[in-house]
Amino acid sequence: YKKTSAAQGTSAAAAGEEEVKADGTDAHQQQKQQQQQSEAGADPDAADAGTGTGTGRGTGGGLWNSVVSRVLGKSTPGDRSGGGPVDPYVRGPAASLTATLINTSPTTSTGVGESLNLDVRLHSDGVARVRITERYGTSAAAYESARWTSDELILNEEEMVGADDAEIVTSTARPTSRDGDDEQSDNGNNNNNIKQKQEDDKALLTELVGTVFTATPDQPQADLDNYVALRYGGADHVLLLRLEPFSFYLFRRGGSGAGAGGSSAGGSSYGMPIVTVGERGLAHFELRRARDDDSSAGADADATNTDDGENSDAVLMDDDDYIPPDEDDDEEEREAAAASGGEEEDKHGGKEIVGYWEDGLAIYADGTREERPVEDEAEAEHRKLLEEQSPDLDREGLWEESFGGHTDSKPYGPTSVGMDIKFPGSSHLYGLPEHASSTVLQTTHGAGAKYHNPYRLYNLDVFEYELDETMALYGEVPLVISHSVAGGTAGIFWFNPTETFVDVYGPDDDGGIGDAAGHGTTTHFMSESGIVDLFLLPGPDPHTIYAQYGRLTGRVSLPPMFSLGYHQCRWNYRDEPDVYAVHAKFEELDYPYDVLWLDIEHTDGKRYFTWDSNVFPNPVAMQKKLDSQGRRMVTIVDPHIKRDNNYYIHKEATAKGLYVKDKSGTKDYDGWCWPGSSSYLDFTANKVRSWWADQFAYDRYRGSTPALFTWNDMNEPSVFNGPEVSMQKDLRNLAGVEHREWHNLYGLLFHRSTASGLIRRNPDKNIRPFVLSRSFFAGSQRYGAIWTGDNAAEWSHLEAAAPMLLSLNVGALSFVGADVGGFFGDPDAELMTRWMQAGAYTPFFRGHAHHDSKRREPWMFGDETMIRLRKAAMARYALLPFWYSTFREAGVTGMPVMRTMWMEYPQTEPLFATDDQYLIGSDLLVKPVTAPGVTQTTVLFPTADRWYDVDTMAIVSKEGESNGVLSITVDSDIDKIPVYQKGGSIISRKLRLRRSARLMKSDPYTLYIALDGENKAKGSLYMDDEETFSHEHDGEYGVAEFSVSLGGNDGLIENKVALGPGWEDEHAKDSLLA
């Protein structure tokens, strides 16, 4: 690394070709020597630990040696440069290039020379993965084995295909390819071709470097030897690496500013980079260390020390070699704390604690509650002073760190990693869910910043969350999508599940550094721990980028049809008579609904997988009654397990050793949640996930039937007496890995395990599950639905719902919704009506309420309001075929179901920041009414298409400019939500009024044909059995492609049907028609 005065942290330098030249050896001769060394089995990285001299000129092979012996995927997946061991955690394509990053600063945080492993993995679809880790497994490394990472848990390895055409581009050496076409040939023509290719490559490198190099008085022109490029994907993509200081740049043919039509490999067709990384010098990687090293931290390094591992007498531990401290010592510490009057006694004034509430505050035996602490003025002043000091002077919190009465032991010291990532030419970024803020990411840095704190990604149970804030909420997806007219669509996936902060710099905020790559919006990612693992997604358009992301983390699973209907829930329906009464009223009013839900009070003392027999004595009969009339039920199952030795789940989990451990790694963690004292299963372990899935078997979950599905709440995980109402970061999983390393994965893994259980409980494992989860991470789209948590019955929360749901869809989470009516509080009739209208046009459609809220079933607001609410629900049910087909499209292509306007109109810049209206698929435009007393609404219509009112089928907006927008004020009184069908589309509906989706299964379809300006239209309809996996396993499905073309006095209406192989045989076809 190399210290920069303008940045917190460091920029990186790589051992590269300039190192080869530093000792006066001819580059080609050095190349040959290193090739021989590699073939002889030597360790080419052995001398790459760095000198600590600040020169940045080592003598080992480094990157240039990688060019010779380890380049372009000739290693096996997970292989390391320099003959090091295989990383057992990495998945996906083999490394295309490996190298060693060297800290060139004369002063390092550990006091010795430091280096890191770098590998680059190129994918056939243009995705580039850059992975930076600590060194391990060599004589010069501090660790014996690789650091734990979560590839196997998250990545969609089956579809991650390596680029087989990658080639290296340098200024002086011949290109190297997988096919070995760099070998010498006696053929003069071949030699001429090679020479010409070298010239072309040098010209290309000159062009690329010219777009990112900034001249200075000391360096008026770029040193091409300081750059290496990897060209791949049919020469459509180039990853350019600057060696010192280390940074990299992704180019895409036809990128921002590229010449139109350039397609030859040597042509000038790349323009500016679409993503630049590390250019601002904000990249940093804090190495783990042992506590005994602290005396040397920050001291000047020995200029002759080239060993980055033996930095003290202490031995650094791998996670799987973790040795817990002596339990007696731990007990002595607790006794000493109690004897001295301890923090808990001071904090609670000696009162007896009998529980904790969801806001994390204690409940006392005398009936009072703990008051939220106010920061002491002296403490606040001290904290402010520390923030203003140089990071080099701030030693407080280097090891133990206290927060809100909790202490984090930080056994490896500070371990953060970070990187600056810029999108040149772009002023619109999206993603980073979940936040109660606009879909477009707002600036958090510099003059005029919208927010003064970075976006925080840390899954938390946030009680009564605030709006228009960057505060952390229930889940996170560290995905950023950039979009601009000139540069198209590009993105990055920061694959790190630890607590992460993201600053956003505006296009005019260069952070005090002259950015070479021109104006553009910059993000600065900082994660508390983990590694740097960055996926660059080149796009170039929304459809392509979501196909790329889908190949990384998976696509949405096709939900069963019933789950797309209306869900009725509250905390709590009291007993079986209450359930029967609510169900009967829906029946009486012909009000369609599909699922009735039970919250935590249905259990026996918050023991999940049980029933309170006093109020639910016959759960099987209850479920069968609703099932016979086309309805299902959902019960809640949370991850906290009541610590009761008579509770079979807890007894077995304890005996099998399945719980998360305390910081000693020896005792089961004891936290507080709804049941009181609770333990938490370690879902990072496969054996735990499998055991949990087994608990959903009908003979284990007594009282469950095939008509019962599941709701996963509190899975951030929520711990009422923990820091920020969650787990302590220094807890350990069964492999000894700290909770801080996998915190943001917990909700996804719980969700995944539950979905697996609902599949496994049926003998043929062929019934699709339905599981709702509050917490999530990248990849959660594969396991079920997500909702936005504990919102409030306020107009502001209704207004916030669409931007939040759009942000989730930007993160590829399509099956999402917000609780209709708001969870906290009591909506009036108008708010309830507007929320039901809006909810009917969101992917997940559920009404829910807090136990302190008044009953709010649709009939509770009077007949007039009930009729309006039923009309909204009926509109939803009529469109179920369209919703189902759109979900199927999302499952195949990766495109979100609920889309921002720019996703379908990528050249229409006035729509880029729009998040109060949206598209369902590509054909329905929705503008919810989110304020009281509204009778008219302004809608922005893209003039590339004409638009029809879905209620009257009248044309509201005609075609105009291809990239224009027409603002039209439309009527939207209390009976009307503005929804429009795009001209040129055909949408399928079912118009018979039924009381559930199952009862509609055999109903006929009605096609709504909205002609475009040429009197043409097209659309599709997807069909299967609506509840099993037979569409996947056996090819039992059909797709109808409709088209209409009218002209003059005649026209053509056509339906082309494609059947899956399971429906192609005559028996299946006869059965289907019957």
- Please give the helix or strand (H or E) that residue 333 lies within, else none: helix 327-339
Q: Which residues contact 385 (CB under 8 A, 6 or more apart)?
A: none
Mind spelling out the 3-state secondary structure of 247-303? EEEEEECCCCCCCCCCCCCCCCCCCCCCEEECCCCCCEECCCCCHHHHHCCCCECCC
Q: Which amino acid is at 563?
A: S
What is the widest separation between alpha-carbon atoms in the chain? 96
Q: Which amino acid is at 9?
A: G
327 a catalytic residue: no
CA distance 353 to 376: 24
Residue 276 pairs with which residues in a beta bridge?
A: 249, 422
Cis check: omega of the bond before 217, within 30 degrees of 0: no
Place of tokens 């459609």: 845
Q: Which two tokens stand for residue 860?
A: 């509770």
Please return the burial class of 804, using the count of CB atoms within 10 Å of its CB with bins 0-12, 13-18 and 19+.
buried
CA distance 805 to 103: 43
Between the CA atoms of 436, 439, 445 and 450, what dihedral angle is there, to the nearest 10 degrees? -70
φ, ψ for residue 24, nearest 5 deg: 85, 5
Do 478 and 432 form a contact (C-beta atoms < 8 A)? yes
CA distance 886 to 945: 20
Query: Annotated catalytic residue: which of 201, 515, 528, 713?
Result: 713
C-alpha R_g of the chain: 30
Do 838 and 930 form a contact (C-beta atoms < 8 A)? yes
What b/e string do you get for 829-862 counting C-beta neighbours within 10 Å, with b at 16 or more? bbbbbbbbbbbbbbbbbbbbbbeebeebbbbebe
Q: Which two tokens stand for residue 955?
A: 């044309």
Give the rounded distance of the alpha carbon of 327 from its chain centre.
Answer: 38
716 a catalytic residue: yes
> Roughly what angle, to the nearest 10 degrees, separates helices 880-893 and 863-878?
50
Please report, in angstroms and rounded to a whole number, the separation of the first and last CA atoms in the chain. 71
Do 809 and 781 form a contact (C-beta atoms < 8 A)? no
CA distances (Å), origin 105, targets 2, 17, 58, 63, 303? 5, 19, 13, 19, 10
| DSSP line for 133-186 | EE-BSSTT-SBSSPPP--HHHH--GGG--B-SS-EEE-SSSPP-BTT-TTS--S
Q: What angle do CA 114, 117, 123 make, to 5 degrees?
A: 155
CA distances (Å), origin 620, targets 623, 695, 816? 5, 17, 29
Give the rounded distance of the alpha carbon of 1068 from its chain centre.
Answer: 40
Query: Annotated catalytic residue: which of 17, 167, 528, 790?
Result: 790
Place of tokens 């993000």: 523
CA torsion sign, 622 to 624 to 630 to 635?
A: positive
Q: Which residues contact 258 (CB under 8 A, 6 or more apart)?
A: 268, 269, 270, 271, 272
Q: Which two tokens stand for residue 31?
A: 């190349």
Q: Which two tokens stand for residue 1063?
A: 């429906």
3-state secondary structure of 681: strand
790 a catalytic residue: yes
Helices and strands (H, E) in the chain, number of each type: 22, 48
Query: Annotated catalytic residue: which of 244, 308, 319, 716?
Result: 716
3-state secondary structure of 10: strand
Place of tokens 């931290």: 297
- Positions annotated as catalytic residues are 713, 716, 790
